[in-house]
Chain A
Amino acid sequence: MDVTATDFLPADPLLHLLRRATYGPTPASTAEIRRLGAGAWLERQLKPASIADPVADDLVARLPLSRLSVGSVRSKVRAGAFKMYGWEPMFELGYAAVARAVWSERQLLEVMVDFWSNHLNVANPSGDVWDSRPDYDRSVIRPYALGRFADMLKASARHPAMLTYLDNRFSTRAAPNENYGRELLELHTVGLGYTEADVKGAARLFTGMTVSWDTGRYRYDAGRHATGAVKVMGFRHANTTASGGQSAAMALLEHLALHPATAKRIARKLCVRFVADEPPATLVTRLAKVYLDNRTAIAPVLRALFTSPEFAASVGAKTRTPYEDIVATVRTLGYAPEKSGTKALQALYWITEAAGQAPMAWTPPNGYPDVASAWASPSGQVTRWNAHLNITAGWWPNTLQRPESIVKAFAGDTLPATYGALVDAVATRLLGRTPAAEHTTALAAFYGKKPASPLKASDAAAGWAFPYLPALLLNSPYFALR
């Protein structure tokens, strides 16, 4: 009974890499990584533009509002497509996130888009960013998700969604609003350790960066800029002219992105996402150096992370969050999207919402928590367990394309001879390993049988009651661990 986390997961390092660097292994991605090997697979994922992505492209094309610029959202309103302040584009963005997470071939990119969407969180949907949130995804997060963090940070600071979400658009020379300045330091860059004077200095430097009420687009209003020297976390600027405020603010952002405290925070956060809830300090230190040596470029950091001995030794050290769980469920089952329409995408989105983690929907600025303890909730667990059965059996969503026979798809063309063999076959297909003997016994007992009991084609377990077995396996620690 002395079981540790590693005892629930297959030892195969390729599967470990797929569980961490993607939203979960699929039959196809498992075959691909075996063919390419870990190194070539990773290099390919780090160059997402080189990967054809027809399935996800087709799904996102069904959600055209998810990709609109601010101006396009507004012209759609004028054309009567939806009402002013309508949430349709933001919901489509949420559905598109689920579609890409499940079916995109550019898995590492999508995982990093989610990572940065949380790091530079702008809650989606939320009322004030109704016209700008899809554009924030399109022009701030996605282009830089595997690029330079400094570039993404600067793009976020000038984006109407961030300027609105953290109130900088309302900040004036006479009354600087400190909300953005504080969260920029505490959450986006250096972390706790700043002083109130740093916050005040940053807030002053960002005055003038606002949003046009006419167009909804970014605007620098020199008339609102507070001039005068500022000092923020070792950054100094004379800030003598109102017209120079914006470039001074950009220089501060570059400084903060390259600050050693930022390097350490981002390195640690990446380790929390990919390695362990309490990551090894040695790895964090090494990755922080890679980050600084590469002037905030993220791809080299990820390369160093996934090839590190600490990563290799971290099997079983992460637990799937609710969102990762639901997405990985569909991927592991290998179900295909519906042939047309978006009903299943919407259903999956609302399942993640019910489970507590619809993508990008965390309302406070700190982004969703990424450690197991934050998600250890009975209500969340029941929602996920119910979803496993509903998705597997095709009850909800009921429009995904499933294999003609999931018994054959998961247990093989030839029906296993015993209940124990059935459990082993399905577990191997879905989890990459067979369960421990006492767990196989428990799963056979669910059907009122023993592992050695013969399995007949007419048994419920090989017919209408079969979907319970994959669902129970997806409920188990063998799947809950990442």
Chain B
Amino acid sequence: MTTTTENCGCPVSRRKLLAAGAAGVFAGLAGEQLSTQLAFASPAYAGDVFVLLSLRGGFDGLSAVVPAGDAAYYAARPGIAVPKRQLIGGDAYFGLNPALAPLLPYWKAGTLGAVQAVGQPAPNRSHFSAMEELERAAPGTSIRTGWLDRMMGGLGAAGAFDAVSMGSSMPARVLAGPAPDLGLHAVDSFVLNGEDKNRPMAATMAALYAGAPPALAATTAMTTSALATTAKLKAAGYTPANGAAYPDTELGKALKDVARLIKADVGLTSACVDSGDWDMHENLGTAVPGKRMYDHLNALASALAAFARDLGPAGLGRVTLVTISEFGRRVAQNGSGGLDHGYGNAMLVLGGGVRGGKVHGKWPGLAANRLVDGDLAVTTDYRAVIGEILRGRCGVTDVSKVFPGVRPSTLGLVKTR
């Protein structure tokens, strides 16, 4: 029986740890199989850690990145538009919601930027099917994998921690497909019940899967090594750096664990985190504390600011985080002081390689004849925006393998790595 190194208490690099697990579990397999199917120490990845933050429910980009220079914005939202005098960090045309103040230092430093009027190639105002399409990202094809899975596959992902979705034990839909990924409710809760130095469950499982069919053996090897990694991380504990204080929210906890994995150098290439409750059909509120949109944006900004602060300039230099949402919201407020499902939206982009401090994209305007069924038009496909980042920062050379038929945008959103 072979055990992995989880109980030795010694500092071991990820590669060595994995190698030790692999040697035991795969001892009975031919070397050829091992290299073609089961190698799970991924080729060295030199790009940014790509963090995908999904704003579920339909994010209102117009409340976050406010088109203050467009009179139609104020006309359409008499009760909930953010007055010009309250906006922060703005330029001649756009300003940020004051709830985003925790992020202002990053906006000013140029590590936070925004893109306006982005979205899916066709309007889709159903949460369910819009989210499906957003994560499949291949309309008009029969592809059923998620786009992040295709990206990970293209990068040769093979390790358990290469692609992680944090906050849910089930991997995100965007990761659906053949490339390996790990869904973690939290780093500290990824444990085997009953594991104990006197009852070595993981080691016993490794022995029971010795010689099992390759697919089963490979998963088990990944599981036992991932358990060993999280056990080490848990034992070491975690204190965010630079005095970063994460808010006690689901998003705050998830981003803290993502920062923890980034710093632990476990091989993280991409991470998915969720932020929910953006479906504000009523009482969205004015831009003051205690109002729905303000508080929500502020909680988002606090979590992102803590993440950036925790990583520090060096850490942030190898991370790009983008926000996406299934659709934007209608330009005009409804009778309940809220906003119904719309189309075009804004994305936020945070990272050391970002050319931020400004709003990218082509603004179509909010005049009635520029709207699509009452909604902000889309001038840039969200896939093209992500494609630009993947090419510039993540070493993806052929974006069309991730997003069929899509060419990366040329917004100048990121510095090429």
Residues of A near any B CB (own CB < 8 A): 1-5, 8, 123, 126-128, 167, 179, 186, 192, 316, 319, 354, 356, 363-364, 366, 372-373, 376-383, 385-386, 389-390, 435, 438-439, 441-443, 445-448, 465, 468, 471-472, 475-477, 480-481
Contacts and interface: CB of A to CB of B under 8 A. Distances in A.
A126 B27 CA distance: 46
A1 B183 contact: no
A8 B212 CA distance: 8
B104 to A, nearest CB: 37
B204 A442 contact: yes
B194 A377 contact: no
B220 A381 contact: yes
Contact of A378 (B142, B191, B219): B219
Contacts of A465: 199
A-B CB proximity, top 7 nearest: A1-B28, A442-B207, A3-B211, A378-B223, A379-B183, A477-B212, A376-B219
A389 to B, nearest CB: 5
B178 A468 contact: no
B37 to A, nearest CB: 11
A445 B170 contact: no
Contacts of B194: 389, 468, 471
Contacts of A389: 193-194
A391 to B, nearest CB: 11
Nearest to B144: A366
B226 A372 contact: no
B190 interface: yes
Q: How large is the interface on B (under 10, 10 to 19, 20 to 34, 35 or more residues)?
A: 35 or more
Given A376-B215, A378-B160, A378-B223, A439 B132 contact: no
Interface in B53-88: none
B166 to A, nearest CB: 11
A192 B141 CA distance: 11
A379 B190 contact: yes
Contacts of B184: 379
9 contacts: A1-B210, A2-B211, A128-B128, A364-B136, A372-B215, A377-B181, A379-B184, A380-B183, A389-B194
Contacts of B39: none
B198 to A, nearest CB: 7
Nearest to A182: B142
Contact of B128 (A5, A127, A186): A127
Contact of A377 (B183, B190, B191): B183
Contact of B212 (A3, A126, A363, A468): A3
Interface string B150-179: 000000000010000000011101000010
B171 A377 contact: yes
A364 B192 contact: no
A3 B199 CA distance: 26
B201 A468 contact: yes
B204 A1 contact: no
A126 B28 CA distance: 46
Contact of B1 (A316, A386, A441, A476): A441
Contacts of A192: 142
B216 A475 contact: no
B204 A443 contact: yes
Nearest to B27: A1
A385 B206 CA distance: 13
Nearest to A354: B169
Contact of B192 (A179, A319, A385, A439): A385
Nearest to B211: A3
Nearest to A319: B216
Given A354-B169, A382-B190, A373 B178 contact: yes
B132 A364 contact: yes
Contacts of A383: 169
Contacts of B215: 319, 372-373, 376
Contacts of B180: 376-378
Contact of A477 (B160, B192, B213): B213
Nearest to A475: B205
Contact of A382 (B142, B199, B200, B227): B227
Contacts of B144: 364, 366
Nearest to A365: B132
Given A379-B190, A381-B220, A389-B194, A468 B199 contact: yes
